[in-house]
Structure 1
Amino acid sequence: MSDHVEKGRVPALHEAFAETFPIGAAVNPATLEAAGPLIARHYNSLTAENHMKPEEIQPEEGVFTFEKADVIVGFAKKHGMRMRGHTLVWHNQTPDWVFEGKDGGPASRELLLSRMKSHIDAVVGRYRGSIYCWDVVNEAIHDKDADILLRRSRWLELVGEDYIQKAYEYAHQADPDALLFYNDYHEAVPEKREKMYTLVKNLLDRGTPIHGIGMQGHYNIYEPSIEEMRITIERFASLGLQLQITELDLPMFRNDDKRRDVTEPTEEMVEQQRVRYGEIFDLYREYKDVITGVTFWGAADDYTWLDHFPGKERRTWPMLFNDSHEPKPCFWAVVK
């Protein structure tokens, strides 16, 4: 046991990684109010969970609702934290008006690109100097068919494949100092990993201003394997870009486990989570030269998007802190 533990002092999570990478949390104004002291003490980077997504920040054309995003940015500034921006272009949580033409039909390529640029100019421009990196494009890859690279979306349908490159060009123009990331999930699944690699390499080959890959890290206490994670890090690092884990959580259930009758985690679950979190952060430490940030998608077990996942509404206990904001066994495995 360390001296800190023996004296009853819980070390600040981000201090345990002061020589490696920032430790972040995805938050909203409600979680800042409910868990402000925990977040201020243990994290030194923030991401807006939802309040910078297109439908939240521009629900109507030209009508920007920055208030809640400003609260999060203000909290980060007050506590000396970094701020990640999430997200500018996504097929989901984007209002319908974006894709509608003036005549009620689909928007033209030119109109849609104009709207994309206006949105990016307004949002990135507002937070220039306050947000150091952006998830510019989120989840643009097709999950199923091995022969199809890009997700079928309104962006792809109405603009074409270059909508992705355009988004990075517009973001770079709006803030030349911001680091620009591509963000996606299931990154350790071999087929998805290769698609992500191909997409980003193609962008780089075309001179696109992209600086990093965001690996979401929505894992669980059983999968994927540490070896698959390692292969993914090595593969992406070969592109010469920064890597960040952007949405990390480790729920207590496998993806295909739909049980809803578990009211508290078993001792076996708690131990498996402790071991897994320890192994994962051991891996991240190995690659501290290329991993420039690790962000949890939440701050503690009392609020997580996973508890409200459609069709699986239940407690999942995916974080390092419990409902009372006390460190769990997995916390100690992470901070060593």
Structure 2
Amino acid sequence: MSCQVQSLWEAYKDFFPIGAAVNAETVKTHEELLIKHFNSLTAENEMKFSSLHPQDGVYEFKDADLIHDFAKRHNMKLRGHTFVWHNQTPEWVFKNEDGTSVSRDLLLERLKAHVHDVVKRYGNDVYCWDVVNEAVEDKTAQYLRDTKWLEIIGESYIQKAFEIVNQAAPEAMLFYNDYNECVPEKREKIYKLVRTLKENGVPIHGIGLQCHWNIFNPSFDEIQRSLEKYASLGLKIQITEMDISVFTFEDQRRDLTEPTAEMIEKQASLYAKAFKLFREYKDVINGVTLWGVADDKTWLDDFPVRGRKNWPLLFDVEHNPKEAFYRIVQF
């Protein structure tokens, strides 16, 4: 990577922080890119419940500490991700010793203890938290996703989670985070949920829009429409997990060993349009995070098609800037 390339975060210093999702490996292997181009970090998995608290009374902070220490050493912001999710929550959280389901009160007590222990360790070094992640159903007309949190606590689990985290971290910004945020049917559900929380006086400060897109979907009109809809709630918005796949979700191809010129151009064009829109909403958007650093390490490798490579980020497999990078820094 040329030292002459403009720094991404410096290009956006008058707009919003630029973040990357990292893990215990990539803070080492992608250190140069991270230091030069990003001023915010999110732990990809290391701060999720199952990573930090795999067994009752047992915490494993090593990998999360590594990311925390890297961010602090390089004067980067640190996002916390995530306290309440239907995935990556260990079974012990929901079970009694005899294997029966815990009571509502015990589950809330366990969540509270977990939140307080994690916040006590990292304090105000984590400036915001994704408190609840992906609580809205997107495959059916159902409103909330069926989860053990919902089953045991009821719909109030979302409100309770925000209240618990706010009590433990009163200075942190608290976000509801979700994907498919530009799909009209799901957009209405996310809007309804956040509006209801706000109207009920719940301490929620923002909406996290994951923005896992591809070069064909969503349409830019839907992206604009969605951002306007969420902005109308009067809360902050963060782009929390952005990447732009070169394949649609339904595309099952495995034959490509590198992206085509058409894919590179479509990807660059959408990144450019999106970041232009983000800049226009800089009074509302207070953070943009990419879900990864460079194309050599991305969660979209093997998903949804096993054995397939994807190229969704701003830097290629050799850590060189892609066309999309140049389009978003040259504005």
TM bin (shorter chain): over 0.9
Instruction: Give 1:310 shift.
Output: 4.7
Does the CA-based 8 Å contact 2:295-2:317 persist in structure 1?
A: yes
Q: Give the alignment partner of residue 212 of structure 1, picking from 206, 217, 220.
A: 206
The residue identity in structure 2 corresponding to 1:168 is: F
CA separation in 1, counterparts of 2:74 and 2:263?
Answer: 34
Residue 103 of structure 2 aligns to which amino acid in structure 1?
Answer: S
CA contact (8 A) 1:237 1:243 kept: yes
Counterpart for residue 98 of structure 2: 103
Equivalenced residue count is: 329
Structure 2: tracts of 5 or more residues without a match: none
CA distance in 2, matches of 1:42, 1:21: 13
Q: Does 1:192 align with 2:186?
A: yes
The SS at the match of 2:275 is: helix
CA contact (8 A) 1:258 1:312 kept: no
Q: Give the TM-score taking structure 2 as reference length.
A: 0.97
2:42 maps to which residue?
47
TM-score when normalising by structure 1: 0.96
Q: How much is the aligned-residue C-alpha RMSD, in angstroms? A: 1.2
The one of 223, 248, 252 aligned to 1:229: 223
Counterpart-to-counterpart distance in 1, 2:24 and 2:97: 35
Residue 203 (structure 1) aligned to one of 194, 197, 208: 197
**Distance (whole Å) between structure 2 residues aligned to residue 312 and residue 22 of structure 1:** 33
Pair 1:18-2:13 in alignment: yes
Residue 199 of structure 2 aligns with an amino acid whose one-letter code is D
SS of 1:157 mapped into structure 2: helix
CA distance in 1 between counterparts of 2:124 and 2:39 reads 17
After TM superposition, give the deviation of residue 171 of structure 1 in Å. 0.3
- 4+ residue segments displaced more than 6 Å: none
2 CA distance for matches of 1:317 and 1:112?
A: 40
Whether the 8 Å contact between 1:306 and 1:313 is mirrored in structure 2 is no
Shift of 1:64: 0.8
Letter in 2 for 1:241: L
**From 252, 260, 275, the counterpart of 2:254:** 260
CA deviation vs aligned residue, 1:89-125 (integer Å, no higher than 9, x gap): 1010000101102332111111111111111111122
Question: What are the within-5 Å matches in structure 2 for residues 156-305 of structure 1?
Answer: 156-305=150-299
Partner in structure 2 of residue 307 of structure 1: 301
3-state secondary structure, aligned to 1:46 = strand
Distance in 2, matches of 1:8 and 1:142, equals 45
Post-superposition offset of 1:227: 1.2
Structure 1 distance, partners of 2:181, 2:228, is 12
**Cα displacement (A) at 1:257:** 0.7
| Structure 2 partner of 1:91 | 86
**Deviations 1:222-242 (Å, cap 9, x if unpaired)?**
111111111111111111100
The one-character-per-residue Cα deviations of 1:240-288 (angstroms, maximum 9, x if unpaired) are: 1000000000111112111111111111111111111111111111111
| TM-superposed deviation, 1:311 | 3.6
| Partner amino acid, structure 2, of 1:125 | K
2: CA distance between counterparts of 1:174 and 1:66?
18
Distance apart, 1:149 and its partner CA? 1.1
Distance 1:8 1:165, change over 3 A: closer
In the alignment, structure 1 residue 78 sits paired with structure 2 residue 67: no
Name the CA distance, whole Å, in 2 between partners of 1:161 and 1:8.
51
What CA distance in whole angstroms lies between the structure 2 residues aligned with 1:313 and 1:247?
22
Unaligned runs of 5+ in 1: 1-6
CA distance in 2, matches of 1:284, 1:226: 12
Distance 1:229 1:289 in 2: 17
Q: Is the 8 A contact 1:221 1:253 kept in 2?
A: yes
**2:311 pairs with one of 294, 301, 317:** 317
Instruction: Give the drift of 1:62.
Output: 1.5
For the Cα contact (< 8 Å) 2:21–2:44, is it kept in 1? yes
Paired residue for 1:4? none
Q: Distance in 2 between matches of 1:124 and 1:224?
A: 36
Q: Matches of 1:145 and 1:9 in 2, distance apart?
A: 49
CA distance in 2, matches of 1:8, 1:310: 35
